[in-house]
Amino acid sequence: MNVLIVGANGTTGNILVEKLGKSREHKAVAMVRKEEQKAKMEQLGADEIVIADLEKDIEHAVKGMDAVIFAAGAGSKTGPDKTYAVDQEGAKQLVNQAEKHGVKRFVMLSSIGAGNPVATSDQNMKVYLEAKGSADEYLQKSSLSYVIVRPGPLSNDAENGQIEAKEKIEDMKDRSIPRADVANVLIESLTNEHVTNKTFEILSGERHIEEALESM
């Protein structure tokens, strides 16, 4: 499949480019915002690179794609306006374009707590969770075949391949998940039929990724 990686220049995005670039099954199409980010994508092994910005028109990037992975985000250093523009409206634009161009699979990197902003008193986090929840809901109501993956806190630890995946994970205390394992879950979600049209949370755990997804 031609897989568009949206947010390819991000920390998780880099890992996705590297892993998909090595895959025989898929072609890694890295979407970045700036010309000067192209060299890094080439080094990571991207099969193709496209320049596009979620705050502008992205139709040219989505055309010809079989699947998309949304791994972009405005980040915690920007204000609510960017969170709204990128995490919410940018993701919704990607859903619209994916529908228009017959994309067969949409994999969303969301977040634990998305759509449940009452769970936090931090105002920025509230806005972020609302934006992620709104984008998730928009995708769920679309005609696309989708998977919404909601990880807890991300780390840069080495991958261990073992996760817990559940609709709602109750015990989150002191837990996290390496970005590399999140990337593996996103890639597995491109083709694993057990998670089609499912929304679930993930953290490091005790089951192999494939087995954990098959139990969903």
Where does this chain touch ligand NAP (CB under 6 A) — which range of 3-11, 22-30, 119-127, 202-210?
3-11
Nearest-approach distance from CB 128 to ligand NAP, in angstroms:
7
Q: Which of residues 137-166 bind ligand NAP (CB under 6 A)?
A: 151, 153-154
How many C-beta atoms lie closer than 10 Å to residue 45's C-beta? Answer: 15
Using a 10 angstrom Cβ sphere, with 0-12 exposed, 13-18 middle and 19 or more buried, the burial of residue 37 is middle
Smallest gap, in angstroms, from Cβ of residue 216 to ligand NAP? 18
DSSP character at residue 159: P
CB 50 within 8 A of CB 60: yes
Identified catalytic residue from 84, 128, 138, 146: 128
Among positions 41, 74, 91, 187, the unique one binding ligand NAP when judged by CB under 6 A: 74
CA–CA distance, 101 with 96 (Å, rounded to integer): 9
* Of 28 and 86, CB closest to ligand NAP: 86
- For position 55 contacting ligand NAP by CB under 6 A, the verdict is yes
Which helix (H) or strand (E) covers residue 105, if one does? Answer: strand 105-109
Binding segment (CB under 6 A) for ligand NAP, from list 9-17, 18-26, 40-48, 115-123: 9-17
- Is 84 noted as a catalytic residue in this protein? no
Among the listed residues 47, 53, 89, 214, the single contact to ligand NAP using CB under 6 A:
53
Contact 127, 83 (CB under 8 A): yes
Residue 158 φ then ψ, to 5°: -65, 150
List the alpha helices (DSSP H) in 101-161.
Answer: 123-140
Q: Could you give the residue numbers annotated as active site?
A: 128
Query: What residues line the site for ligand NAP (CB under 6 A)?
Result: 7, 9-13, 33, 53-55, 71-75, 86, 90, 109, 111, 151, 153-154, 179
